Amino acid sequence: MHGLREERVTAGALAPTVRAHYVNAAKDARGELPLTTAFSRALDQLFTLPFRSVLFKSLGLVIGIFIVIAAALQAFIASLPEMPYPFLDQIAAVLAGFGILVSMWFLIVPVTALVAGLFLDEIAAAVEKRYYPADSPGREQPLARTIAYSVRFALVVLGLNLLALPFYLIPPLGLVIHFVLNGYLLGREYFELAALRHMSFADARSFRRHHRGEVFFAGAVLAGLLLIPVVNFFVPIFGAAFMVHVFKGLWSQNEAGLARR
């Protein structure tokens, strides 16, 4: 994290210039961000040969994490004292099973955030090689920094979702909060990880802030996919590929805007 701090300070001096660069380019650029194109390209590449090994590793890690969580919850429930009446034990068993399922659903967001960060470099490299061969290849991030960033962000996601937990129990409001909160968080993490392959931390954050609307909607797409059983296991890999396309689309808009100036 010390290296990350140094990079932020060094790049911070350039941030105002970079910010003006992005704003002026965005004003001159024309056309809408093709989220549908980014979605279809990411989906099309999801099961291709370059993705398969990463996909299997990601699925294995996600499933493994949930097996460990389920086992821990089951052990905790088994350690509780027995009820004085058999029917109370049956009710407790049903409630415990329901609680495990709810916990799994609740933890899918931070687990997804953690796994995505670990595999984004591999996915981004495959996406850039297939769809953007003429562009400069991105820089692979140091593993220690990627792990630290992913773990820290997963804890942030977990903490904020815990604070929002009482509101999740109110069906209409809970759904809105899920999309707003996790759409912002997932869009922020996936986009900045994709951007960090091509720019400094401070510039990646500045770029994301000046395209906060597009990044939020892209994150909301991922938040929606997380609500679909089974599909949510594929979100770390799909989301990484999807956000690389979103980043590339926004960057090309800025480049086109500068070319017109």
**Is residue 21 one of the residues assigned to a domain?**
no
**Is residue 123 one of the residues assigned to a domain?**
yes
The 3-class secondary structure across 156-210, one letter per residue, is HHHHHHHHHHHHHCCHHHHHHHHHHHHHHHHHHHHHHHHHCCCCCHHHHHHHHHC
- The pLDDT tens digits for 234-245 are 999 999 999 999
Give the span between the Cα atoms of 261 and 211, in whole angstroms. Answer: 20
Query: Which pair of tokens denotes residue 83?
Result: 């009820």
Range of the domain at 192: 34-61+112-253
**Is residue 43 one of the residues assigned to a domain?**
yes
Single-letter amino acid, residue 181: L
**Is residue 130 one of the residues assigned to a domain?**
yes
Local confidence band at 49 (pLDDT 50, 70, 90 cut-offs): confident
- The pLDDT tens digits for 220-234 are 999 999 999 889 889
pLDDT for 80 beyond 80 = no
Q: How many domains does one find in the chain? A: 1
**Is residue 85 one of the residues assigned to a domain?**
no
pLDDT for 29 beyond 60 = no
**Is residue 104 one of the residues assigned to a domain?**
no
- What pLDDT shows up at residue 5? 37
